[in-house]
Structure 1
Amino acid sequence: MSNTQKNDLSALQNGSDIRGIAMQTVNKEVTLPNQVIEKIGYGFAVWLKEKKHLAVDSLDKPVKVAVGHDSRLSGERIKTALIEALTNAGIDVVDVGLATTPALFMATQYEQYDCEASIMITASHLPFEYNGLKFFTASGGAEHEDIAYILEHADWDAVTWENNQGVTMKKNLLEEYSADLRKKIISGIKTASNPDMPLKGKHIVVDAGNGAGGFFATEVLEKLGADISGSQFLEPDGHFPNHVPNPDNKEAMESIKTAVLENKADMGVIFDTDVDRSALVDRNGQAVNRNNLIAVISAIAIQENPGTTIVTSSATSEHLKDFIEQLGGHQNRYITGYRNVINQAIKLNQEGTHTSVAIETSGHAALKENYFLDDGAYLIAKILIADAEMAVDGKNFSSLLENLKQPVETDEVRFKITTDTVQQTGETVIEAFSKFIQEAPDLEVEPDNLEGVRANTLGRYGSGWLQMRMSLHEPLLVLYFESDQKDAIAQLKNDIRSFFMKQEGIDTSSL
């Protein structure tokens, strides 16, 4: 493969995933045509053999890989091209059709599937024209360096071993995965009067955003006795006609809030497209995402594992830290990126620090008891169990938030970086902003911070904090504010505007 081809493919790397344009639009050309997908399939086969040491070259017992996709319009096309590459390389494929990212990982754990690896075709919450690939083996998801290796070896010429043509079989993975979730919920709820229908009497509204998560309403909740009337957008539709399937999106959360209140439901559940993220709304319409979601699962984890550590992404509230510590737990505030927080949690456990949860404010939540897999459906199942157990005392899951102080104001500004040297420009602005904060009155740099620059506010701004960091996936600087004093953020933004207006290489119009 030429260096030019390698560079073209390397541009498809998105951290520990692959993402690109799968459908042509007026402004965007396709970067994931069939021939590129096939090459990536060959690179994956090489990676399985050379890096994961699987017997891809075995003529007696071929390696088996599960392949599935979310509701995106390009999913079937990409799956077909990917299966052709894998079978050409001598790999047997289990085509699981519509599925979720967590379910694809579980295909490597279920004995009846006997898959050594799996691939999920998804681009999470991105617009319909995007798609991508996530890779798993039984030991977990691919890392950043694994994706780089796959793309570097993405060519038929890299398949040097003798092989037979692989075969393809079809299975319904979501059926197996749903049954597994039902079993876990039944096992977890000890107080149900009807053990086989432990959610009977609960009214739960699900918003799947037309992604792959509609099964959770019909195949999990309803079969456990829950009333799911008022659930919305359960049908897979890759146009995503109703709202962005993203539990970190204000419009999406407003939609599920409205559905809960209009249907007088006990709770609302919302998923992203491939169901590795989720969030809730309580019966009063309060959003339980971001810091609130972290608080709920932290409270559950600490009750089950006193003194445990919770790893979070960096942009979390000081109130959350106080909340976790008051419960007897510890917070490890790490850097943004779901693989980053998961790997930090795994590392802490290996070093002897008991760590139960790794969770980002975006809704990626991974529990030690569940392979440290960021699984939005398992997270909800865990909270449903706690909610049912608390009902004995007349409480519900939102009762866990009673001692979490809520900020008076929050805001976010996203500065587009306009230069070609995105990383360098971003780092330059962050360094300059750090120096600016050190000299500014009523702002103090927070030393316990590993990402960008974070400062605590005091004096005329009242109690609060701000943080600026690089976006992981876009050419942006993200500036987040949180304050316990009304109108303090507006004053702070006005006071720092002059600094940003002097910076080169960023668009300040959003400020």
Structure 2
Amino acid sequence: MGNTSLGKLINGSDIRGIAIDTKEHKANLTEKEVKKIANGFLNLLKEDKKVQRKPMRIAIGFDSRVSGPAIKEALVEVFMGAGVTILDAGLATTPAMFMATQFSEIDADAGIMITASHLPYFHNGLKFFTKEGGAEHEDMEKIIEYADSGVASQGEGHLEDIDLISYYADDLVQKIQEGTGLEKPLEDLHIVLDAGNGAGGFFAADVLEPLGAKTTGSQFLDPDGYFPNHIPNPDNSEAMASIQGAVLKNKADLGIIFDTDVDRAAVVDDSGEFINRNNLIALLAQIVLADEAEATIVTNSPTTSHLKTFIQNLGGKQYRYISGYRNVINKAIELNQEGTSTPLAIETSGHAAFRENYFLDDGAYVVAKILMLLPELNQKGQKVGDLIKELKQPAEAQEVRFTILDEQYQEYGHQVIGNLEEFVARTLGFDREPDNTEGIRVNVSEGFGSGWFLLRMSLHEPLLVLQVENDHEGSNHKVFQQLAKFFEKYDKLNLEKLEKILA
């Protein structure tokens, strides 16, 4: 890779870095780096994506982060010099930026979303789209490789404003109306929205209310890039407690929460039950399997064993795959190409992508699919939570992350995982689970209760991640005690968090 410092900004299938200097952090995603990345993206579109149109049309949007406008201006400067028609969406969402390439009224060749999802305010990043879909990790490497190559100018560029969110919201409203056959399918329903001061506040006034919903009690709808109320992350316990409180306080029928850029979502039912992580996967599985009973659903690997049973009881099949939303989505696309019908790819983090929606991880579309259920459920006197009441919940679920102190952390981590296989083989009550594609998954029984654990490498950090679940209260502790005998010989693992559990 040509540019080492830029290469460090690659985060899976997008770019992420520190955009604002703080006392603890020095910015590494400044105007200088952004301009090089813009240059690299133009070369990628021309050389690899074969975008022939002149002038090229590129849409740009940002979430509520305070550094978003400055990053946009750096992109605009490069694109203007290259003769690009720039479509400025202003405050936008990640899914909407992909849809800018699909809506005929906008017809962008590419879209760029300026976001760092749920990370702290001083972070930012860029996600890239073409008409074919989201960028891959390999595309990020090419962008960095092409960053220092020149771009032939096609004359002076052109900048125009677009009201992308209006197109996007209208499209969602239309889809929900078509899905229910009703003009006001949410009439008489009280739904509260928590946008976490991110980019999703539009959903209350532009989607829920036109469909007839009452939205009083909705909170944190105004964009604020310092995120003063809570982390905008549906996978965060504080954030989920916030929307739960709003639902119960307002006696609402449903609560909705988005992350900053609205590619993830979760809901809370009228009783305050969280429908995120395994519960959200179960609910969306219920939706797709109602249409196609024998379909396959791809998830990431650390899902509860009870989820597999739930999906099988509906007639479907769960395919556990490597963590990372692009990995899960790409496996679903691959399975479909091979002839295995796979309508849904979803991670426990809340990234969910439907085949019918371009396999785009779109939190607002996920919510739209759930909203389509409400009129019929209402008629039957049922609630959303009733659809997953057969999903058994574990008595205990814990996660421990071990920092790897060795510089060759990937090699060291995989060595630990390989050695754990031998330890498992000679431990009575530990049985390796064959249906697993990431790290090592082990079912526990005998004196260790009834459950499982999974040890895997973190996607982007020098960490080993251990997840332990059990149906018997107190048995997780026994599993941790047994595993401590294995981990204690590894001096390049920081075991403080495990020691704290066992103290």
Q: Same fold (TM over 0.5)?
A: yes
Query: 2: CA distance between counterparts of 1:319 and 1:341?
Result: 20
Give the counterpart of 1:255 among 242, 248, 251. 242
Query: 2: CA distance between counterparts of 1:266 and 1:488?
Result: 36
Amino acid at match of 1:100: T
Which residue is equivalent to 1:179?
A: 170
Contact 2:81–2:153, Cα closer than 8 Å, also in 1: no
Which residue is equivalent to 2:491?
A: 504
Spell out, residue by residue over 1:74-102, the C-alpha distance to the aligned partner (whole angstroms, 9 max, x if none): 00000000111122222111000000000
Contact 1:206–1:217, Cα closer than 8 Å, also in 2: yes
Give the counterpart of 1:164 among 155, 177, 180. 155
1:473 Cα deviation from its structure 2 partner: 2.6
1:162 Cα deviation from its structure 2 partner: 4.5
Are 2:6 and 1:6 equivalent residues in the alignment?
no
Give the counterpart of 1:358 among 331, 338, 345. 345
Secondary structure in 2 matching 1:97: strand
Structure 2 gaps, min length 5: 499-503
Contact 2:270–2:383, Cα closer than 8 Å, also in 1: no
Are 2:441 and 1:460 equivalent residues in the alignment?
no
Which residue is equivalent to 2:501?
A: none
Give the counterpart of 2:34 among 21, 32, 37. 37
Give the counterpart of 1:487 among 454, 467, 474. 474
Secondary structure in 2 matching 1:310: strand
Contact 1:388–1:396, Cα closer than 8 Å, also in 2: no
Which residue is equivalent to 2:130?
A: 137
Spell out, residue by residue over 1:247-272, the C-alpha distance to the aligned partner (whole angstroms, 9 max, x if none): 11111111111111111111111111
Are 2:106 and 1:110 equivalent residues in the alignment?
no
Which residue is equivalent to 1:127?
A: 120
Secondary structure in 2 matching 1:466: strand
Amino acid at match of 2:317: H
Secondary structure in 2 matching 1:224: coil
Query: 1: CA distance between counterparts of 2:480 and 2:325?
Result: 29
Which residue is equivalent to 1:315?
A: 302
Spell out, residue by residue over 1:83-141, the C-alpha distance to the aligned partner (whole angstroms, 9 max, x if none): 11122222111000000000000000000001111000000111111100000001100
Give the counterpart of 2:49 among 44, 48, 52. 52
Alignment of 1:70-81 (within 5 A): 70-81=63-74
Q: What is the TM-score of this pair, normalised by structure 2?
A: 0.97
Give the counterpart of 2:56 among 43, 48, 63. 63
Query: 2: CA distance between counterparts of 1:80 and 1:88?
Result: 12
Amino acid at match of 1:135: F
Contact 1:201–1:227, Cα closer than 8 Å, also in 2: yes
Give the counterpart of 1:285 among 272, 286, 290. 272
Query: 1: CA distance between counterparts of 2:279 and 2:80?
Result: 45
Contact 1:42–1:89, Cα closer than 8 Å, also in 2: no
- Name the Cα RMSD after superposition: 1.2
Contact 2:258–2:265, Cα closer than 8 Å, also in 1: yes
Spell out, residue by residue over 1:23-78, the C-alpha distance to the aligned partner (whole angstroms, 9 max, x if none): 011111111110110110010000001100012xx5xx311010000001100000
Query: 2: CA distance between counterparts of 1:229 and 1:507?
Result: 47
Alignment of 1:162-311 (within 5 A): 162-190=153-181, 195-311=182-298
1:420 Cα deviation from its structure 2 partner: 2.1
Query: 2: CA distance between counterparts of 1:216 and 1:356?
Result: 25
Which residue is equivalent to 1:101?
A: 94
Which residue is equivalent to 1:84?
A: 77
Amino acid at match of 2:26: E
Secondary structure in 1 matching 2:469: strand
Query: 2: CA distance between counterparts of 1:281 and 1:81?
Result: 40
1:186 Cα deviation from its structure 2 partner: 1.1
Secondary structure in 1 matching 2:306: helix
Which residue is equivalent to 2:23?
A: 26
Amino acid at match of 2:150: A
Query: 1: CA distance between counterparts of 2:93 and 2:153?
Result: 33
Query: 2: CA distance between counterparts of 1:474 and 1:125?
Result: 17
Amino acid at match of 1:72: R
Query: 1: CA distance between counterparts of 2:81 and 2:476?
Result: 58
Query: 2: CA distance between counterparts of 1:203 and 1:419?
Result: 53
1:326 Cα deviation from its structure 2 partner: 0.8
Which residue is equivalent to 1:338?
A: 325
Spell out, residue by residue over 1:386-410, the C-alpha distance to the aligned partner (whole angstroms, 9 max, x if none): 1222222221221110211111111
Contact 1:104–1:119, Cα closer than 8 Å, also in 2: yes
Give the counterpart of 1:385 among 357, 372, 378. 372
Amino acid at match of 2:162: K
Spell out, residue by residue over 1:408-431, the C-alpha distance to the aligned partner (whole angstroms, 9 max, x if none): 111111111223222122112222
Query: 2: CA distance between counterparts of 1:432 and 1:387?
Result: 49
Query: 2: CA distance between counterparts of 1:289 and 1:11?
Result: 32
Contact 1:214–1:234, Cα closer than 8 Å, also in 2: yes
Amino acid at match of 2:384: F
Query: 2: CA distance between counterparts of 1:496 and 1:272?
Result: 35
Q: Which runs of 4+ in 1 moved over 6 A?
A: none
Amino acid at match of 2:174: K
Query: 1: CA distance between counterparts of 2:23 and 2:411?
Result: 31
Amino acid at match of 1:132: G
1:305 Cα deviation from its structure 2 partner: 1.7
Which residue is equivalent to 2:461?
A: 474
Which residue is equivalent to 1:17?
A: 14
Query: 1: CA distance between counterparts of 2:119 and 2:407?
Result: 23
Which residue is equivalent to 1:368?
A: 355
Give the counterpart of 2:312 among 293, 304, 325. 325
Spell out, residue by residue over 1:265-300, the C-alpha distance to the aligned partner (whole angstroms, 9 max, x if none): 111111111000001111111110111000000001
Secondary structure in 1 matching 2:343: strand
